[in-house]
Copies of this chain bind each other. A is one copy, B any other.
Amino acid sequence: MARIDGRNVDQLRPVEIIPNINKFAEGSCLIRCGNTHVLCTASVEDKPPRHVPEGEGWVTAEYSMLPRANRERSKRDIAKLKLNGRSAEIQRLIGRALRSVVDMKKLGPWNITIDCDVLQGDGGTRTASVTGGFVAMMLAFRKMMENGQLAEYPVSGYVAAVSAGIVDDVALLDLCYEEDSAAMVDLNCVMDDQGRLIELQGTGEERPFTLEEQQQLVRLCHKGVVELQKIQKDVLGVEL
Residue positions of A touching B, CB distance < 8 A: 22-25, 28, 35, 39, 41, 43, 45, 62, 64, 66-71, 73, 76-78, 81-83, 85-86, 88-89, 91-92, 96, 99-100, 113, 115, 117, 119-120, 122, 157, 187, 191-192, 194-211, 214-215, 218
Q: A83-B78, A113-B73 are in contact. Are A208 and B197 (CB under 8 A)?
A: yes
Q: Are B208 and A194 within 8 A (Cβ)? A: yes
Taking CB atoms, residues of chain B closer than 8 Å to A117 are 66
Which residues of B have CB within 8 Å of A191?
208
8 contacts between A and B (CB under 8 A): A39-B66, A41-B68, A89-B89, A99-B205, A195-B210, A198-B203, A199-B202, A200-B202
On whether the beta carbons of B202 and A197 are closer than 8 Å, the reply is yes
A48 CB to nearest B CB, Å: 14
**How far, in Å, is A61 (CB) from chain B's closest CB?**
11
Minimum CB–CB distance for A135 against chain B, Å: 15
Partner pick for A68 among B24, B77, B99, B195, CB 8 A cutoff: B24
Most buried by B among A96, A117, A194, A197: A197
Query: For residue A211, which residue of chain B has the nearest CB?
Result: B218
Q: Is the CB of B204 within 8 A of A211?
A: no
Best-surrounded residue of A70, A91, A120, A203 (most CB of chain B within 10 A): A203
Q: List residues of chain B with CB within 8 A of the CB of A197.
A: 202, 204, 208-211, 214
The number of times this chain is found in the oligomer is 6
Residues of B within 8 A of A78 (CB): 64, 76-78, 81-83
Q: Is the pair A192, B208 in contact by a Cβ cutoff of 8 Å? A: yes
B83 pairs with A83, CB closer than 8 A = yes
Q: Tell me which of B70, B187, B196, B203 contacts A209 (CB under 8 A).
A: B196
How long is the Cα–Cα vector from A70 to B109 in the complex, in angstroms? 23
Q: Is the CB of A208 within 8 A of B100?
A: yes
Bound complex: CA A83 to CA B84 (Å): 10
In the A-B complex, the 7 residue pairs with the smallest Cβ-Cβ separation, listed nearest first, are A196-B208, A43-B73, A200-B202, A41-B68, A77-B78, A88-B88, A85-B88
